[in-house]
Each structure stands twice: as structure tokens, then as C-alpha cells.
Amino acid sequence: GAGVSQTPSNKVTEKGKYVELRCDPISGHTALYWYRQSLGQGPEFLIYFQGTGAADDSGLPNDRFFAVRPEGSVSTLKIQRTERGDSAVYLCASSLGVTGNSGELFFGEGSRLTVL
């Protein structure tokens, strides 16, 4: 499709396991963002990529979280040694990433992570 695609849509894992969440942004969008949304809360910023580089990773909660975007398109959010508190919906968004654009972020439907 033409929108932001996230896989898997649902992931259930056990405490201590490693997970990867994938985001395929809209073609041509150079800016990519990861947000995390806990139940009943608004999305919280995790990391922002401009092209291949992580321009701002100030929202990553700790060093168990890492994200890559090696070719400037698809991004993978990696979580090591998962904890129950990591359970949330992980949202990916992309934008044109150029000055003067509308500022509109296009969001995917999210990956729901449940850590048992």
C-alpha cells in the first residue's frame, strides 16, 4: 500500500527475550520516527532518523533499545532483554523531512508488543 507499514502487528514474547519491530515508510520520505504508546496515554517520542542517521535518539528509555535504518528507508526497532514494562504499541511515522513541508507525520497502525 501507499501508507506506512509496520510488522508484526502483534508480538507476544516472554520476559528477557529479544524482539525486532519493522517499519516500512512511505516511499520518498526521508524522515522516520518511532513513538511508543502505552495504554491510555499519548504517543511518546523515541527516536528520529533523517536518512540513514539517527538525528535524535533522546527518547530511547535505556540501552536495551536500539534502532537502525541502514539504507534510509526501512527501519528496525530492536529491544533486548525485554521487560514487562516494555509492553506498549510501537508507532512508526514518516514525513518528507524537508524544510517548509506541512509538518504532517504519517503514522502506521503500530506494532502491539506484549511481554509476559
Partner 1 sequence: AQKVTQAQTEISVVEKEDVTLDCVYETRDTTYYLFWYKQPPSGELVFLIRRNSFDEQNEISGRYSWNFQKSTSSFNFTITASQVVDSAVYFCALSEVISNFGNEKLTFGTGTRLTIIP
Is 92 a binder of partner 1 (CB under 8 A)?
no
Q: How far is the CB of 46 from partner 1 (least distance, A)?
A: 10
Q: Which three cell numbers stand for residue 56?
A: 535524535
Instruction: Using alpha carbons, select from 74, 76, 30 the residue that is nearest to residue 55.
Output: 30
Contact 36, 23 (CB under 8 A): no
Per-residue interface string for the shown chain with partner 1, residues 54-83, x marking contact by CB under 8 A: -xx--x------------------------
Contact 49, 39 (CB under 8 A): no
45, 64, 72, 76: residue in contact with partner 1 (rule CB under 8 A): 45
- What are 61-70's contacts with CB under 8 Å, separation 24+? 67/34, 69/32
**Binding piece for partner 1, criterion CB under 8 A, among 11-19, 20-28, 60-68, 89-97:** 89-97
Q: Which is nearer to partner 1, 35 or 79 (CB)?
A: 35
Contact 114, 105 (CB under 8 A): no
**Binding piece for partner 1, criterion CB under 8 A, among 10-18, 20-28, 43-51, 63-71:** 43-51
Q: How far is the CB of 16 from partner 1 (least distance, A)?
A: 27
